[in-house]
Amino acid sequence: MTNPFETINSRLSNLEALQLETLQCLRQAIAQPAPQVGGIELAQELTRLSKARIYTLVSERAIPHAKRGNRLFFNRQELLEWVAAGSRAAA
């Protein structure tokens, strides 16, 4: 018969190792600077809009963007300012 405390200690050690690995990954993600210019994924991340909606706004020239050939580029700061400009005052 195995000692139940050995099983518990083993599982706790595994959880501790996973937690340390997760913390290390989070620290690395925080240490990396966010890209200032990106593609449609950056626009989706900052605006929380779908790709289709972003493409519609681009075609209407309603969202700040740049185009090089067939590629769209978005500036993080311009998108943040665009989102902030659309905010409403509290009533």
Give 27-73 pLDDT, tens digit per residue. 887 877 777 999 999 999 999 999 999 999 999 999 999 999 999 99
Strands across the sheet containing 66-68: 37-38, 71-75, 66-68
Q: What distance in Å separates the CA atoms of residue 12 and residue 2, rounded to the nearest whole number?
A: 17
Better pLDDT: 21 or 3: 21
Position 89 scores a pLDDT of 65
Write out the two tokens for 11: 């599982």
Phi first, then psi: give them for residue 29, nearest 5 degrees.
-65, -40
Cβ neighbours of residue 46 closer than 8 Å, sequence gap 6 or more:
74, 76, 79, 80, 83
| pTM of the full structure | 0.59
